[in-house]
C-alpha cells in the first residue's frame, strides 16, 4: 500500500488539516466529505499526538471518502526539540517514532515538517554552538531515518523562515543536513511561503533539491491562497516539471479561526474571506495550473 503511494507518477493535491482544526482527532473526520467534495486527492494530517486518533478508524473514514493520507505533518511544539535539552531531545524522538509507528496503518508514506527543532525557537547562536547542535541533530536523524526505513517510510525536513527557526532556513542548509545524515529515507520538504522569504530564487531552490524533493507545500506569499499572490508560479511549475516531481502538492495556509495555530503562525488579520475560500480557490488554481 505505502509503496504504491511512494511510486505514484501523477501529481496529487492535498490539504493540511491545520487550516480547519487543532488538534486533529477522531471527530475531525467530519472534514473528509468536504475535502472530497471540493476535489482534493489527499489529506495531510497535522498530528499533535498519536493518542488523539485511532489509525484504523481514520483510515476507514479516508477510504469511505475516496481520500488518501499521503503525508503527516509533524507538530514540533514546545518540548520537542532534537537540538534542545536531553529531555526535549528524548521527547522529540519518542514523538517522531510514535507517529512513524502508526503511519503504515494509515497507508501514509512520509512524515514531513521541521523535524529538527521546536518551531519558534529562533535566537542568535555562536558558530561553535551551532555546530554542536547540528551534529546532535545529524545523529538523531540518522537513527530516525533508519527507524523509518525499516517500515519503508520516509522523512522530509522543512526549512522554515528566520522568524520560526534559526537552524535550517534554506534549501541549501536542508540539503547539507540530508547529505550529512546520508540516508535514502531522508528527503527535503519545500514550502513556497518560507522560500518566498529565504530563497533568492524559489525555482533554483527546487532545481537544487532535485530528486531529494520529497514533499511540497503551496501557499500564497502572505500565507493565504496560492495563486492570488506575488509568487512566480510559472517558474515554480517549470522547476517542478524539470525535476520530475510527482508527489503531493499541499495547501498549508492558516486563518484566525484556529486560534492556537493563528498565534503560532502570527496570523493577526483576515487576509482571505474564509477557510473554505482558501481551500476551494487554492485547489482550483493548483489543478488548472499544474495539470497544464
Q: Look at 230 and 7; give whichever has higher pLDDT.
A: 230
Q: Give CA–CA dist 30/69, Å, rounded.
A: 15
Residue 256 backbone zone (phi > 0: left; psi -120 to 50: alpha; other: beta): alpha
Q: Are 40 and 11 in contact (CB under 8 A)?
A: no
Instruction: Name the pLDDT band for 175 (thresholds 50, 70, 90).
Output: very high
Q: Which domains does the chain have, with CATH numbers?
A: 2-290 (3.20.20.150)
**pLDDT (mean) for 177-182:** 98
Q: For residue 31, what pLDDT is reported?
A: 98
3-state DSSP assignment of residue 217 = strand
> pLDDT tens digits for 181-229?
999 999 999 999 999 999 999 999 999 999 999 999 999 999 899 998 9
> pLDDT tens digits for 59-110?
999 999 999 999 999 999 999 999 999 999 999 999 999 999 999 999 999 9
Instruction: Name the pLDDT band for 292 (thresholds 50, 70, 90).
Output: low
Backbone angles phi, psi at 66, to 5 degrees: 65, 35
This prediction's pTM: 0.94
Q: For residue 9, what pLDDT is reported?
A: 55
Q: What percent of the chain has pLDDT over 90?
A: 86
**pLDDT (mean) for 48-56:** 98
Q: For residue 3, what pLDDT is reported?
A: 45
> pLDDT tens digits for 243-252?
999 999 999 9
Supply the residues annotated as catalytic. 158, 252
CB burial of residue 129 (10 Å; 0-12, 13-18, 19+): exposed
CB burial of residue 185 (10 Å; 0-12, 13-18, 19+): buried
Distances (CA, A) of 270 to 139, 164, 242, 281: 41, 21, 36, 16
Q: For residue 255, what pLDDT is reported?
A: 75
Average pLDDT, the chain: 93
Q: Give CA–CA dist 143/154, Å, rounded.
A: 13
Amino acid at each position: 500500500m505505502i509503496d504504491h503511494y511512494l511510486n505514484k507518477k501523477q501529481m496529487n493535491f492535498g490539504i493540511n488539516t491545520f487550516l480547519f482544526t487543532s488538534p486533529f482527532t477522531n471527530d475531525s473526520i467530519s472534514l473528509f466529505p468536504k475535502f472530497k467534495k471540493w476535489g482534493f486527492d489527499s489529506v495531510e494530517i497535522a498530528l499533535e499526538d498519536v493518542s488523539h486518533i485511532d489509525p484504523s478508524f481514520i483510515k476507514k473514514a479516508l477510504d469511505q471518502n475516496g481520500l488518501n493520507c499521503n503525508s503527516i505533518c509533524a507538530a514540533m511544539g514546545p518540548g520537542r526539540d532534537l537540538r534542545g535539552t536531553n529531555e526535549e531531545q528524548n521527547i522529540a524522538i519518542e514523538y517522531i517514532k510514535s507517529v512513524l509507528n502508526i503511519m503504515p496503518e494509515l497507508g501514509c508514506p512520509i512524515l514531513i515538517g521541521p523535524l529538527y527543532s521546536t518551531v519558534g525557537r529562533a535566537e542568535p547562536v555562536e558558530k561553535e554552538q551551532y555546530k554542536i547542535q547540528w551534529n546532535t541533530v545529524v545523529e538523531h536523524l540518522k537513527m530516525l531515518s533508519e527507524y523509518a526505513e525499516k517500515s519503508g517510510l520516509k522523512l522530509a525536513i522543512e526549512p522554515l523562515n528566520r522568524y520560526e527557526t534559526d537552524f535550517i532556513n534554506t534549501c541549501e542548509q536542508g540539503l547539507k543536513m540530508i547529505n550529512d545524515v546520508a540516508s535514502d529515507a531522508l528527503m527535503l520538504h519545500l514550502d513556497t511561503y518560507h522560500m518566498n522569504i529565504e530563497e533568492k530564487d524559489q525555482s533554483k531552490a527546487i532545481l537544487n533539491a532535485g530528486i531529494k524533493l520529497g514533499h511540497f507545500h503551496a501557499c500564497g506569499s502572505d500565507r493565504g491562497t496560492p495563486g492570488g499572490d506575488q509568487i512566480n508560479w510559472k517558474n515554480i511549475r517549470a522547476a517542478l516539471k524539470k525535476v520530475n516531481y510527482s508527489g503531493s502538492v499541499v495547501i498549508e495556509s492558516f486563518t484566525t479561526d484556529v486560534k492556537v495555530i493563528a498565534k503560532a503562525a502570527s496570523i493577526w488579520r483576515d487576509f482571505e474571506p474564509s477557510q473554505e475560500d482558501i481551500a476551494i480557490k487554492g485547489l482550483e488554481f493548483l489543478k488548472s495550473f499544474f495539470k497544464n
